Amino acid sequence: MTLSYPNQTTREEKLKHAHTVKELMLNRYDTAVIAIGIYGSLGAGTDLPYSDIEMHVIVDDTVEPKDFEFVWHHYKMEINLRSEQELLQDAKLVDEMWPITNGSLIRVMPLYDPRKYFERVKQQAILTMQQTEPFKNMVKQFMVHDLYETFGKIRGNMEVGNRSFIPLGAVDLVWEISVVIGLMNRQSFTTRARAIEEALNMPSLPAGYSDLAAQVLNGTLHDIDKIYASCERLWSGLNAWCEANGIHYRTEHVPLENMFK
């Protein structure tokens, strides 16, 4: 038996329910509400029939920040109560998921915003995007925390004959490098689902990315030897690309001075 949910809804239906939530929040919190807006694909205007509804509710210090996630009618809803300073502070930060999460700061559809709060957040996020060092530092961290381990698993499983892992490893590798590409180019994705295809259109790419990304997007992952060779080429291209951009993540000594600060 095929379940009827989740099922398709129109953009107009989603917006109607978002406005209902807005009124509920204003009635519940009254003058404590500073701004209410929609983010995610619905806020950016790229929503699909099965997209969820994600909302920022900005409140003053009399309301405790908290998150709500639930399924209401046909919709998955996420409502984030945030303090006025919290979102502004988020707009100053660059973390590993910045290419995915930054859209929630710069692409917000205001439903209630008498003080132009979301425009202030957007302008702060744009100022952050003009810096280079925070993004380079995060690429270095991503290489150490994630990509070095991911490629080690690909190479290790190939060497011990666990060939069935290689297609999965290739998908992981392309996804993680897509995030690094977003960081290096200081560009965010419109949605996580389009990260790979949007990364392909960014100005600076490591050699080998386009080839393996195309295989992942097309689902042509049956030739294990070909996929593995593409992974090796991309790994070499990624490291050369990092070096060319002044990112050196390997060290010749144990960083004791950082460990024992």
Return the active site residues.
149
Q: Whole-angstrom Cα distance, residue 186 to residue 129?
A: 6
Q: Whole-angstrom Cα distance, residue 155 to residue 176?
A: 16
Query: Which candidate, 30, 83, 74, 67, places its Cα nearest to that of 49?
Result: 74
β pairing state of 75-83 and 66-72: antiparallel
215-218: long-range contacts, CB 8 A cutoff, minimum separation 24: 215/170, 216/170, 216/171, 216/174
Alpha carbon dihedral 99, 100, 105, 107, in 10-degree steps, equals 100
